[in-house]
């Protein structure tokens, strides 16, 4: 609440932008999201830097890559993603933290895929609009995309395409143990490492949020609704592609889904559009480009896109 009041004051009193103007909407979106995501990024990078120093990373890595789990690691990652109320851009700091802690790439991507698709507020709104059955199917679909996407990317062994911004945990711990002994020295070392990650990623975070702010201010939502509604058999892939330029969380997109369904758009097509908006945004791609190289980024978005299209057609077939 205080942040919103500060943003309103800054946009109105300092920037002198009329309250209902497009410029005010763009500036408010950018300032508010930049502050929130930057604070989250700074806190998480510090917490994960400490965590990966003290945790027995090798033992955890062995556990999460063990065949005895039969996919339980991916399932738990998607559940954690569903439990965290983050949009795609604010999920990325946690994704970086997981990689920094030595968690396997596929498992971390299962979290990253699921986190923006499902949250408790969106689930509550969907229950009110569409009922328990459809909501549970959507949750199951989001978890399925996360598990399948993470598993497939894990099998492709694309770890070499993770950016050098992700540090080697074992080397960092060994360096700390050789050079530093006191708790204060360890805290200083891990804090420097956290700030290194923070400053490396922050420009891409701000660039992504800036693009999202421009889209939020200038792209009329009705344009996408009309485009999706007129595509017939190809409506599902068109809906997924049309959702990519937008930037919003699941809660903000649900009213759009309701209007699409009321206009006669099949529910599967509408849900595919929703998944693309919250899980395939261009701002997310810009930020991820800092921590992923092109082959991994292409595999990530390609697999998710295919999964969303299949789920859209599946919902249309059974509902």
Beta carbons within 10 angstroms of residue 285's beta carbon = 18
Containing 128, the helix (H) or strand (E) segment is helix 120-130
Helix, strand, coil percent values for the chain (each to nearest 5)? 80, 0, 20
Q: Are 158 and 295 in contact (CB under 8 A)?
A: yes
- Give dist(CA 204, CA 290) in Å, integer: 7
Range 257-260, long-range pairs (CB < 8 A, 24+ positions): 257/129, 258/129, 259/225, 260/225, 260/228, 260/229
pLDDT in tens, 159-207: 889 876 665 554 555 555 545 457 787 788 778 877 877 787 677 667 7
Q: How confident is the model at residue 281 (pLDDT cuts 50, 70, 90)?
A: confident
- 265: which 2 tokens? 């758009």
Give the integer Cα–Cα distance in Å for 189 and 153: 32
Nearest of 85, 127, 129, 76 to residue 104 by alpha carbon: 76
pLDDT in tens, 20-51: 788 888 888 888 878 877 787 787 677 767 76
pLDDT digits (tens, 9 = 90+) for 214-240: 766 776 656 655 666 566 678 899 888
The set of residues, in sequence order, having a beta carbon less than 8 Å from that of 230 and lying 6+ positions away, is none
- Report the pLDDT averaged over residues 48-75: 65
Q: Using alpha carbons only, give the angle 58, 298, 204 rounded to the nearest 5 degrees.
A: 80
Distance of CA 170 to the CA centre of its chain: 27
pLDDT of residue 223: 61
Closest CA to 172 of 292, 52, 48, 43: 52
Would the pLDDT of 139 be above 60?
yes
Please say whether the beta carbons of 29 and 213 come within 8 A.
yes
For residue 219, the model assigns a pLDDT of 62
For 292, list phi and psi in degrees, rounded to 5.
-130, 145
Give pTM, 2 decimals. 0.71
Per residue in 195-207, pLDDT tens?
877 787 677 667 7
**Confidence at residue 65, expressed as pLDDT on a 0 to 100 scale:** 56
């Amino acid at each position: 609440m205080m942040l919103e009041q500060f943003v309103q004051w800054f946009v109105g009193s300092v920037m002198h932008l009329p309250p209902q103007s497009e410029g005010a909407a763009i500036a408010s979106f950018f300032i508010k999201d930049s502050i929130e995501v930057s604070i989250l990024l700074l806190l998480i990078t510090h917490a994960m830097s400490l965590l990966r120093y003290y945790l027995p990373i090798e033992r955890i890595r062995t556990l999460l890559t063990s065949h005895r789990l039969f996919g339980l690691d991916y399932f738990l990652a998607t559940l954690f993603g569903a439990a965290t109320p983050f949009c795609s851009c604010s999920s990325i700091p946690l994704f970086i933290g997981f990689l920094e802690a030595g968690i396997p790439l596929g498992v971390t991507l299962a979290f990253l895929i699921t986190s923006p698709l499902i949250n408790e507020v969106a689930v509550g709104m969907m229950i009110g609009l569409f009922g328990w059955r459809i909501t549970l199917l959507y949750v199951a679909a989001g978890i399925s995309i996360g598990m399948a996407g993470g598993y497939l990317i894990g099998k492709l062994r694309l770890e070499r395409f993770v950016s050098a911004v992700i540090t080697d945990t074992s080397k960092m711990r060994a360096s700390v143990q050789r050079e530093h002994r006191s708790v204060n020295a360890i805290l200083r070392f891990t804090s420097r490492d956290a700030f290194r990650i923070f400053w490396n990623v922050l420009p891409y975070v701000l660039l992504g949020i800036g693009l999202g702010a421009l889209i939020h201010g200038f792209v009329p939502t009705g344009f996408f609704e009309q485009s999706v509604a007129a595509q017939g058999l190809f409506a599902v892939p068109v809906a997924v592609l049309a959702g990519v330029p937008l930037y919003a969380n699941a809660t903000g997109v649900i009213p759009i889904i309701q209007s699409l369904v009321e206009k006669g758009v099949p529910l599967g097509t509408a849900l595919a559009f929703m998944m693309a908006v919250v899980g395939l945004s261009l701002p997310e791609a810009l930020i991820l480009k800092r921590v992923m190289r092109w082959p991994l980024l292409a595999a990530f978005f390609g697999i998710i896109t295919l999964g969303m299209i299949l789920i859209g057609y599946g919902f249309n077939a059974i509902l």
